[in-house]
Amino acid sequence: MESFLFQLFIFLAAAAIAVPIAKKLGLGSVLGYLIAGIIIGPFGLSLIADIEEVMHFTEFGVVMMLFLVGLELKPSLLWEMRTPILGMGGMQVLFSSIIITGIALIFLPWQQAVAVGLILSLSSTAIVLQTLREKGLMNTSPGRSIFSVLLFQDLAVIPMLAVLPFLATIAIHDDGHYASVLFDISSLPQYMQIIVILLSILSIFFLGKFASRPIFRIIAATRVREIFVAAALALVVGISILMTSVGLSPALGTFLAGVVLADSEYRHELESDIEPFKGLLLGIFFISIGASLNFILIGEKILLIAGLTAALIGFKWLVLVVTGSIFKMEKKERSLFAIALAQGGEFAFVLFQFSRTNGVLPNQTIEPLISAVAISMFLTPFLFLAYEKFSSSAQGDEESRRDSDIIDHTGHKVILAGFGRLGTDLGRFLISAGIKPVIIDYDADNVDVLKKFGFEVYYGDITRLDLLEAAGAAEAELLIIAIGDIEKSRKLVELAGKHYPHLKIAANASDRTSAHELMDLGITQIRRETFGSALALGQDALKLLGFDPYEAHKLMRIFRKKDEDTMPELHKMRHKDKKSYISMYQKHSEDLEKLMALDLNLDMEEIDKAWTAANTEK
């Protein structure tokens, strides 16, 4: 136990020290983790023992990441992106595999060459997505292309896992890696195995589509956050176990579950609950990659590994450039696209491991290849840096034009916090104006009802930073606060101001005091919840009393304008004593009455006469 805690401490401390330094130096967190790994690894300070074990455990971070990727991909979005995914992704994987296989054929038997080709065609989802996100490139058009290719690769892993065992040429020594956990389905007859596999996939679909909602609702109703986290983790871990026991990839299972749940109102809550675990596991995974760099081997075969790395990056880069040109990317876009995806990926570790246990590839082939993949991953953040240096010096003034293009492309991103009485109409209004906000509400029953009406509402506590993040605060343009509880609104405003200072905020205040509190926080767009309806009703009342409708409308507008104008003044007074606040309030009310009376009693004829008199006199 103590040694476990000590190991954990080493990992966490290394991350905590290395990542901020790397970020400070503009290297990105991934590079920070990798360097931390090298430092604490067997060839650095030698502080950690069983890297293989750690890496194997933290591979689970990749499974979680795929769950999260699935969550972000609604079936409809997946369908929309089918061309880049299948086209670019398919072309990249196919061509890279063929070329690498072709080269490997010189040295290896064909089965092994095919396996190496397939495995090395993959890029690093973890490093690339993390880096893109950090650099804010996810929603740009090269960002989307890169994501499409990565997604295709993630999907391609699944058939690869299925195909690889057929390429086996070496006697298998099963080390129990993929042995079943619950029961051994290989003892069943073949047709039963297929039925079991189909049933388990169906059960994921069923669980996600039908069973998850009532379960999550019950859990949400408890309002105990840990339970939701526990349920979310149980879901992901459970699916992984199920998949492993029927011989499928856990990544496939969780990805599938993610896609099925992408339409669920609990999506953002799930995302924000799994995210930290994924982040931590992936971080440690990166550290273990850094630590696993076998410097002795690299030292011994420096030329071979350097050659392999250069060839790997070079040929993949070439394929990507060609793919980019075929899909008519601009030059700048294409160079980012090619540089981002030219490395080997973490799936290579998984698949190499898998090939070893299935007797596809011998150890002496795998060892240098794994080193080459790890080095290529290690080099990726540097390639990004080089790209940035190069592109910013080469094209300075083109930048602004491109930026506005991108904004135009992504549209407005709005988060609507609170979907109660106020939020519902507000949301309807925005939707009818063509703006689709991400709507978050913390009342599970309410969410359920509105969901039935066809609103895209998510369950969750928006005053939590992780949920705000999951709702897309980093990329959003505007946050609308339609929460009645001023305490929550204040918390949200503070949170958003601290972490997302770029976010514009428009807020609802339940009354005048709340409005003042929000003004204290520097919010300028504030609407008092009942003010608008009060004035509208007042206007109706005047009309029913026989006021001219236009007059009633005008009086309402005068009142609204004046009242809004006096808000800042009253706000200033609020911090003085109550007495002067009240007297100020009364003074303003009197002024207002006078003003409105003036408007009502204006004698048009008098004015007309005066006007004519003035004119005719001259």
Complex with another protein: residue 390 or 611, whichever CB lies closer: 611
Q: Tell me how far apart the alpha carbons of residues 125 and 112 are, in angstroms, rounded to a whole number.
A: 24
Min separation Cβ 552 and another protein, Å: 7
Min separation Cβ 444 and another protein, Å: 39
Burial of 359 (0-12, 13-18, 19+ CB in 10 A): middle
Complex with another protein: residue 542 or 584, whichever CB lies closer: 542
Min separation Cβ 546 and another protein, Å: 9
Residue 263, φ and ψ in degrees, nearest 5: -90, -5
Min separation Cβ 611 and another protein, Å: 7
Min separation Cβ 220 and another protein, Å: 42
Complex with another protein: residue 189 or 546, whichever CB lies closer: 546
Q: Tell me how far apart the alpha carbons of residues 278 and 275 are, in angstroms, rounded to a whole number.
A: 5
Helix axes 90-104, 110-120, angle to 10 degrees: 140
Min separation Cβ 545 and another protein, Å: 13
Q: Residue 214: CA atoms inside 13 Å, Cβ hemisphere, count?
A: 4
Complex with another protein: residue 397 or 605, whichever CB lies closer: 605
Complex with another protein: residue 495 or 542, whichever CB lies closer: 542
Complex with another protein: residue 548 or 590, whichever CB lies closer: 548
Min separation Cβ 604 and another protein, Å: 5
Complex with another protein: residue 13 or 597, whichever CB lies closer: 597
Complex with another protein: residue 31 or 555, whichever CB lies closer: 555
DSSP secondary structure code for residue 496 in this structure: H
- 347 and 153 in contact (C-beta within 8 Å)? yes
Min separation Cβ 390 and another protein, Å: 54
Min separation Cβ 285 and another protein, Å: 59
- 138 and 413 in contact (C-beta within 8 Å)? no
Binding site for another protein (CB under 8 A): 548-554, 602-605, 608-609, 611-612, 615-616
Q: Tell me how far apart the alpha carbons of residues 74 and 133 are, in angstroms, rounded to a whole number.
A: 19
Complex with another protein: residue 363 or 533, whichever CB lies closer: 533
The distance between the two most distant Cα atoms of the chain, rounded to a whole number of Å, is 116
| The three-state (H, E, C) secondary structure of 226-288, written as one string | HHHHHHHHHHHHHHHHHHHHCCCCHHHHHHHHHHHHCCCCCHHHHHHHHHHHHHHHHHHHHHH
Helix axes 363-394, 302-326, angle to 10 degrees: 50
Name the strand (E) or helix (H) holding 353: helix 346-357
Q: Tell me how far apart the alpha carbons of residues 85 and 92 are, in angstroms, rounded to a whole number.
A: 10
Of 310, 286, 437, nearest in space to 376 by CA: 310
Q: Tell me how far apart the alpha carbons of residues 438 and 446 are, in angstroms, rounded to a whole number.
A: 16
- 481 and 509 in contact (C-beta within 8 Å)? no
Complex with another protein: residue 393 or 616, whichever CB lies closer: 616
Min separation Cβ 556 and another protein, Å: 9
- 88 and 152 in contact (C-beta within 8 Å)? yes
- 375 and 312 in contact (C-beta within 8 Å)? no
